[in-house]
């Protein structure tokens, strides 16, 4: 048995499958969880001898414990090099109409199941001061929705915020064992999940939010168009496991610079941008709004600076000089930044 063993949850398709395939190609023996026997058989055929399927319902703690026992039997005294927590679902729709059972299930899958799986596998990751097992790595596949909340996917976003908090807490608490814990925050990814979301759009019908059905459809269309390939995430996971990437978290998406700017904005400004995206007759994206916002700022600052200079140059000479400097600097900075945004960041 190879010593480089890893376990990935939710490998039947999409991100999980891509990670499993990539890690096997790089010499790892992969345990992967699926819910259906037919998926296990199919994946075994596709992925070959480097793959060991585990039938697990992440919300069923007994099935998690049974799977962990199987892993222990297979790897014997060898531990796990890494655990990749990938299993997750999306519960969407207006909060006013979200069924409480659906909201709870969102957390049972994305949060409680993740924690239970992690706890059960800690002994195999070197989570004991008396063990000889080398410290492993834990990688949680989070989402940009765990950093910024958009309307109508709030249950999903709330669960991903919880995963981010768990990740930070685990990283700090497990440091005594040398176990590293990392978050990966993908934006839109080209996976079958978007077809599933299309089927849920009818949650807006016959509600006060029916007017936003077009907004949600547009966001899904943007995700399908601008989504990154799951292979990007798989390669990042491999780099983290191999030690080539060591940061606590990674944002993986197109236009990630725009997203980072959005995170730095005050909540009121974030609200204004989101509301404009929701109500816009001509559908726009986050990057469109941020680019437009920067253009407005870069064109407003210089005139305001000149105005303040000429108004206060006698009464408040020091403040007037500062305003003049701001105006003069604002012009070339605005021109250069607009060029960079148009040709490199949002191109």
Least trusted range by pLDDT, from 11-20, 98-107, 188-197: 188-197
Dist CA 8 CA 231 (whole Å) = 15
Q: What is the pLDDT of residue 335?
A: 56
Q: What is the pLDDT of residue 3?
A: 60
Q: What is the pLDDT of residue 251?
A: 96
At 316 the three-state DSSP class reads coil
The per-residue pLDDT for range 13-32, each reduced to its tens digit, is 999 999 999 999 999 999 99
Query: pLDDT: is 72 or 77 the higher one?
Result: 72
Residue 315 has pLDDT above 80, yes or no: no
As a whole number, mean pLDDT of residues 1-16 equals 87
Kindly indicate the confidence band of residue 76, based on its pLDDT and cuts at 50, 70 and 90.
confident
Q: Which residue has the tokens 């012009």?
A: 331
The per-residue pLDDT for range 239-265, each reduced to its tens digit, is 999 999 999 999 999 878 778 888 888
Catalytic residue numbers, as ranges: 156
As a whole number, mean pLDDT of residues 316-333 equals 58
Neighbouring residues of 309: CB distance < 8 A, sequence distance ≥ 6: 320, 321, 323, 324, 327
pTM: 0.80
Kindly indicate the confidence band of residue 77, based on its pLDDT and cuts at 50, 70 and 90.
confident
Neighbouring residues of 197: CB distance < 8 A, sequence distance ≥ 6: 90, 92, 220
Phi and psi angles of residue 181, each rounded to the nearest 5 degrees, phi first: -130, 125
Helices (H), 133-192: 154-173
């Amino acid at each position: 048995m190879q010593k480089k063993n890893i376990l990935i949850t939710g490998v039947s398709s999409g991100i999980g499958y891509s990670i499993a395939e990539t890690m096997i190609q790089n010499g790892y023996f992969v345990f992967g969880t699926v819910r259906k026997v037919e998926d296990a058989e199919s994946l075994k055929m596709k992925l070959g001898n480097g793959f060991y399927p585990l039938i697990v319902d992440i919300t069923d703690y007994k099935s998690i414990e049974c799977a962990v026992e199987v892993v222990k039997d297979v790897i014997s005294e060898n531990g796990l090099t890494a655990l990749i927590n990938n299993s997750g679902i999306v519960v969407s729709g207006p909060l006013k109409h979200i069924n409480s059972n659906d909201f709870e299930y969102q957390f049972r899958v994305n949060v409680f199941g993740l924690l239970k799986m992690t706890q059960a596998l800690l002994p195999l990751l070197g989570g004991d001061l008396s063990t000889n097992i080398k410290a492993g790595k834990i990688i949680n596949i989070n989402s940009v929705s765990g950093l910024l909340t958009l309307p109508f996917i709030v249950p999903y976003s709330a669960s991903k915020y919880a995963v981010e908090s768990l990740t930070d807490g685990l990283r700090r608490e497990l440091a005594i064992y040398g176990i590293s814990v990392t978050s990966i925050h993908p934006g839109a990814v080209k996976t079958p999940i978007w077809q599933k979301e299309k089927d849920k759009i009818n949650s807006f019908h016959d509600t006060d939010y029916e007017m936003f059905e077009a907004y949600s459809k547009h966001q899904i269309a943007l995700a399908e168009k601008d989504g990154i390939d799951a292979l990007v995430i798989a390669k990042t996971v491999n780099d983290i496991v191999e030690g080539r990437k060591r940061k606590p978290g990674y944002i993986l998406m197109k236009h990630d610079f725009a997203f980072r700017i959005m995170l730095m904005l005050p909540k009121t400004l974030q609200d204004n941008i989101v509301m404009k995206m929701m109500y816009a007759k001509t559908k726009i994206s986050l990057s469109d709004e941020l680019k437009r916002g920067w253009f407005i700022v870069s064109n407003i600052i210089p005139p305001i600076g000149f105005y303040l200079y000429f108004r206060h140059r006698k009464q408040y000479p020091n403040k007037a000089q500062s305003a003049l400097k701001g105006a003069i600097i604002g012009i070339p900075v605005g021109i250069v930044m607009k060029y960079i945004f148009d040709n490199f960041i949002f191109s």
